[in-house]
Structure 1
């Protein structure tokens, strides 16, 4: 598989790993009505596949057609291509590896890192495979250049090295910014939009003078997919468990038929109020991680089954949320019930559910989410934490010692790390994304804070000077920084509380447990360092830019601890053995380490709350620079690639129009391809 982040393009085929997202036992426990509801929701989710492909790259849909077309033509008997002399075993295996990765990421750019994935197979071999049918031959010729060529190396603002299918045509950053101002002026929310630069007029709804050329707004992008999604949701509405679910699906349909983000916001309010449903869903244009401007969101469709027994284990953490919020760096005794001025007056403890995913139609299979992303809805209606257990369980299947800790502790680190990932992920979602108040003028003359008694900026010791203006949002103000800053803030909250033994006891770790709390704390700090080192893989040297918001956040935290942590963490680099090892000084964790994390967390939290983008940008961009010794470490990381993960997901099928069958596929590239072929996602025009 090609790795376009470096000059060398070849990656060994074995550097991928395929994992099952197991769901069978929980699915069997559903009632027939619940199974029917889950089935139709899953169909709605998967019908969004082409939206993600279309959002990713210009060629992605045709690559999908080519893979599925080959599967159809050979009837899933891939060895036919060897038997008829088209390719060798190695060439076929390499193509199947690419196909498994492509389908798992729903595009030819990795969902984790946004770098391009190129098949390790020649154009001649591909053309020989394509001869199996006139259709595959035609499709291949339309995309063979973009399939095999680099640059572009990664997703980003379109230029020589990067590409983005959110921006069609030769569009500059300045034009994107001008269009953003126009959209804000006309109250057009950007999440479900793309920008096209064309020479012909596309139907005026809004015209503005923000640019020398007029800007037109046109509805109908993804209309074919939205029609299929709405049809599936209409079927699902026949099997809802309550009136809230029925109303939710009606608002989904209204939004997806018209493009109305107002209707989608209404759907989110209803979704939050449907607490711990047996069958959970996430549908819509949700996360803006892959938009280089940071505001346009990718389609996300997830359907899950709740696990009540596992969920109950987190009840104590949820019930004690406010206690832990009062321990965070911005808390002020006696102010806002001890939470300080940069928290909501009433903490809306989110619904926290552990689920197993049945369908996960996204470019990246998440471990957990905290939604919705709209701060006004979160503050007034609450939010949901959803932890995907069958995705989290995959962490325990990772084999081999970690390369970035000393061999003397590598085995122990591997033993502790799955538990640590579970703890920090749960706290990350609940108290990371769940905290903070964006201070702003919510409408003309109306403020969500006391404008006559302004909160004090803890760094200047003066009243705050900035806040969000009417119509502004967190993402519109902070732009591309927004997603990485928010992920960094949530990570820091979980790391800041990682040494709290009361919190650890809620997860079952104390001085008497098999995994001792003190060891959890130590390995949690090693985890911070390791994640920061591994993140360097997502740094794009061509553009000097980060391809993944989470990776940038992980590196920034590591760099801050190294510069500010008074020796709590160090990195040893041996150029001769090409080894990079993170070391943690146990004796300084709860003093120097916690204090350093607290200082970083305090800054970005307050700056985020008061819309101080300039202070935040200067601080965060300095911590994002990869040079000197950091670049030397990056070279080691790049030279030691880790397996890219692929996920095999099941499908559901109707039997006799009233029963639902769950079909599980073999744990292989062929299994992944078969699962997509069985979903019956129609061919593109």
Structure 2
């Protein structure tokens, strides 16, 4: 498949190596940390440079942020058909409970609600397994029955008791909807996934439905199934499209309302055309219109302010077709963008010198643009947890014919770094002072370069052979695509060309990225996995696939070893040059799999290297990590934007503040941006 979200190595999110894009004085004044609970840490991010935007640009950002927030309920419903009802029920209890709010059951329910907010539903945002509540069914029933029934999301004619009976199994029974996205080989991935993209259909029926409407000779295919729920009603399988007047219509109406306001203050005609076409897509639900919008968006290179708004990434669909709703509003960091412009300006050189077979390379790389951006708002599937790098659009033919946009989100990376400075992670898991010195000197730089190469060039590299279905790899497509882009970045971060271009200071800097990547892929990302579970999330599978493959293939020469020191396991890299060769060999094979649509090879390499977890090593890593009192997952509260108006209602300024708390923001969003009914979405 073709997904580009969350390209960053998990190592960056776990350790957030110290970097500095804000001055020490600024960092001292800004509190990046909000709170920590369960396995989550909530952070803030700054929006430096917003005050320097013109009034028109500020107004544009304001309208686009409102359009972003209006889609919040869509993702909750996409992630599971009971999510909105559960969220609203728990919020009613949280606000209206008359008992002891310091009691253990209430405190446990509060943590559960905070996790539901974070994951946009009752399943873990990354691992996709259902949360285990720390409160009892008895407490839940007593608490729900104790609040004003008018505050509960009751269906027509339903009582509070009946609401409890309906929701309790979903919350408390581990056998009910256990996984939001199931990727276990050999199972019906549609029937065993709790996501709300299918209703009444099996995996085979879904695949047969879309195979029947695809034209293998179509060189510019639409993204089939991207913006719809596939349902079976009265024995007939059909799509219910997400659009104005269709499914999710009440939320999309509000999104369109604010997009139309943004249209009036667009920076230029190109940007206005983008917004106009997006509105048309929302109004019609037509996927050809979506492609037209994507092409216009790719070609809009002169606007300072930019945005993503829509059904974009399909990681939440076990078949990798249907897209979750997300939005990101941003503006270009002109100074930091210089780095990515150098990379994108040399795109053809990188393509030509790639170690993959010539038949899988692009003869001409078109339209590669890259920039570092400052996020103004995160929403939908980019909130509270977000990527630090994005490459869009996902359509292979659009990328080939028209190019793509790649972004690195500078202020988000900066927030991770500032919040995690000196957390002890490296000292616990890095083998020796030699590697620590490499990381201290170069990890920030090489980590950013790897993300840039992954997003700017990796996803845009290579090509499908004529007639190959973009969805040929099915459930393995996302993992293969992320591995392809990661390997492209790994191979080239060590290339002398980067020193020649002034992107790395010397020929040894890349070793910091190689070491941290392998340490993460072989060991430390396991802190995100519950004991006894396999690796299921596509990005984690990608990293383990790469790390385990090069570890095995280089075993005879001891290229990479896992050694014991003082009873603890560490990664040791003995031959960095040979390691780069192995990355190149694997990139060549992964590109072949992608280009030819070799499903069996994708299945074999993913199942062999990316899925299984060593339980002994896993236990050790979890015990070591626990002692650090760190949270393996991080997310953000957004800044708050307020329009300043004159007596006639004309906007004269837009103010941004950073003092809103996590629960405060979530409850405000639930109050101001609840656009969908609790049932029958």
1:145 aligned residue: 169
Question: For the structure 1 residues 522 and 356, does the alpha-carbon distance in structure 2 shift closer, same or farther, using more than 3 Å as the test?
Answer: closer
The offset of 1:221, in angstroms, is 1.8
The offset of 1:123, in angstroms, is 3.6
1:346 aligned residue: 364
Question: For the structure 1 residues 490 and 424, does the alpha-carbon distance in structure 2 shift closer, same or farther, using more than 3 Å as the test?
Answer: same
1:216 aligned residue: 238
Question: For the structure 1 residues 423 and 143, does the alpha-carbon distance in structure 2 shift closer, same or farther, using more than 3 Å as the test?
Answer: same
Question: For the structure 1 residues 127 and 615, does the alpha-carbon distance in structure 2 shift closer, same or farther, using more than 3 Å as the test?
Answer: closer
- 2:500 and 2:134 mapped to 1: Cα distance? 49
Say which structure, 1 or 2, has more relative contact order (CA 8 Å, 6+ apart): 2
The offset of 1:46, in angstroms, is 1.7
2:508 aligned residue: 518
The offset of 1:348, in angstroms, is 1.9
Secondary structure of the corresponding residue to residue 341 of structure 1: helix
2:71 aligned residue: 48
- Does 1:374 find its partner at 2:395? yes
1:69-468 pair list within 5 angstroms: 69=92, 73=95, 84-88=98-102, 91-127=105-141, 129-130=143-144, 131-137=146-152, 141=164, 142-151=166-175, 152-157=177-182, 162-169=193-200, 171-184=201-214, 189-198=224-233, 200=234, 213-219=235-241, 220-330=246-356, 340-363=358-381, 364-396=385-417, 397-398=419-420, 399-402=423-426, 403-406=428-431, 408=433, 412=437, 415=440, 416-441=442-467, 468=468
Segment drifting more, 178-187 vs 392-401: 178-187
Secondary structure of the corresponding residue to residue 275 of structure 1: coil
1:499 aligned residue: 494
1:661 aligned residue: 654
The offset of 1:289, in angstroms, is 0.9
The offset of 1:240, in angstroms, is 0.7
- Does 1:39 find its partner at 2:69? no
- Does 1:648 find its partner at 2:670? no
Question: For the structure 1 residues 86 and 145, does the alpha-carbon distance in structure 2 shift closer, same or farther, using more than 3 Å as the test?
Answer: farther
The offset of 1:617, in angstroms, is 2.9
Question: For the structure 1 residues 528 and 299, does the alpha-carbon distance in structure 2 shift closer, same or farther, using more than 3 Å as the test?
Answer: same
**Contact 1:244–1:274 (CA under 8 A) maintained in structure 2:** yes
- 2:360 and 2:56 mapped to 1: Cα distance? 44
**Contact 1:286–1:300 (CA under 8 A) maintained in structure 2:** yes
2:8 aligned residue: none
Question: For the structure 1 residues 483 and 160, does the alpha-carbon distance in structure 2 shift closer, same or farther, using more than 3 Å as the test?
Answer: closer
1:481-560 pair list within 5 angstroms: 481-504=476-499, 506=501, 508-511=503-506, 517-536=507-526, 546-560=535-549
The offset of 1:242, in angstroms, is 1.3
**Contact 1:65–1:683 (CA under 8 A) maintained in structure 2:** no
* TM score, norm. by length of structure 1: 0.80
Q: Which consecutive residues of structure 1, in runs of 5 or more, have no partner in the other structure? A: 1-11, 75-80, 201-212, 332-339, 442-467, 512-516
The offset of 1:580, in angstroms, is 3.3
The offset of 1:663, in angstroms, is 4.5
- 2:448 and 2:671 mapped to 1: Cα distance? 33
**Contact 2:639–2:660 (CA under 8 A) maintained in structure 1:** no
**Contact 1:401–1:410 (CA under 8 A) maintained in structure 2:** no
- Does 1:632 find its partner at 2:616? yes
Question: For the structure 1 residues 284 and 571, does the alpha-carbon distance in structure 2 shift closer, same or farther, using more than 3 Å as the test?
Answer: same
The offset of 1:426, in angstroms, is 0.7
Q: Which consecutive residues of structure 2, in runs of 5 or more, have no partner in the other structure? A: 1-35, 155-162, 183-188
1:572 aligned residue: 563
The offset of 1:52, in angstroms, is 0.8
1:606 aligned residue: 592
The offset of 1:572, in angstroms, is 3.2
- 1:534 and 1:115 mapped to 2: Cα distance? 20
Deviations 1:479-533 (A, max 9, x none): 111111010000001111122243156565324xxxxx52442453332332342
- 1:297 and 1:388 mapped to 2: Cα distance? 21
**Contact 1:367–1:389 (CA under 8 A) maintained in structure 2:** yes
**Contact 2:72–2:673 (CA under 8 A) maintained in structure 1:** no
The offset of 1:546, in angstroms, is 3.9
- 1:658 and 1:70 mapped to 2: Cα distance? 39
Segment drifting more, 611-620 vs 359-368: 611-620
Question: For the structure 1 residues 573 and 45, does the alpha-carbon distance in structure 2 shift closer, same or farther, using more than 3 Å as the test?
Answer: farther
- 2:250 and 2:311 mapped to 1: Cα distance? 16
**Contact 1:108–1:118 (CA under 8 A) maintained in structure 2:** no
- 1:238 and 1:118 mapped to 2: Cα distance? 47
- 2:435 and 2:40 mapped to 1: Cα distance? 22
1:20 aligned residue: 44
Secondary structure of the corresponding residue to residue 313 of structure 1: helix
Secondary structure of the corresponding residue to residue 646 of structure 1: strand
The offset of 1:260, in angstroms, is 0.5
- 1:45 and 1:193 mapped to 2: Cα distance? 19
- 2:131 and 2:658 mapped to 1: Cα distance? 24
Segment drifting more, 642-651 vs 268-277: 642-651
Question: For the structure 1 residues 535 and 195, does the alpha-carbon distance in structure 2 shift closer, same or farther, using more than 3 Å as the test?
Answer: farther
**Contact 1:539–1:547 (CA under 8 A) maintained in structure 2:** no
- 1:172 and 1:435 mapped to 2: Cα distance? 34
Secondary structure of the corresponding residue to residue 547 of structure 1: coil
Secondary structure of the corresponding residue to residue 301 of structure 1: strand
**Contact 1:54–1:60 (CA under 8 A) maintained in structure 2:** yes
- 1:368 and 1:135 mapped to 2: Cα distance? 43
Paired residue total: 598
**Contact 1:16–1:646 (CA under 8 A) maintained in structure 2:** yes
**Contact 2:190–2:203 (CA under 8 A) maintained in structure 1:** no
The offset of 1:538, in angstroms, is 6.0
Q: CA RMSD in A?
A: 3.0
The offset of 1:616, in angstroms, is 3.3
Question: For the structure 1 residues 678 and 218, does the alpha-carbon distance in structure 2 shift closer, same or farther, using more than 3 Å as the test?
Answer: closer
The offset of 1:386, in angstroms, is 1.1
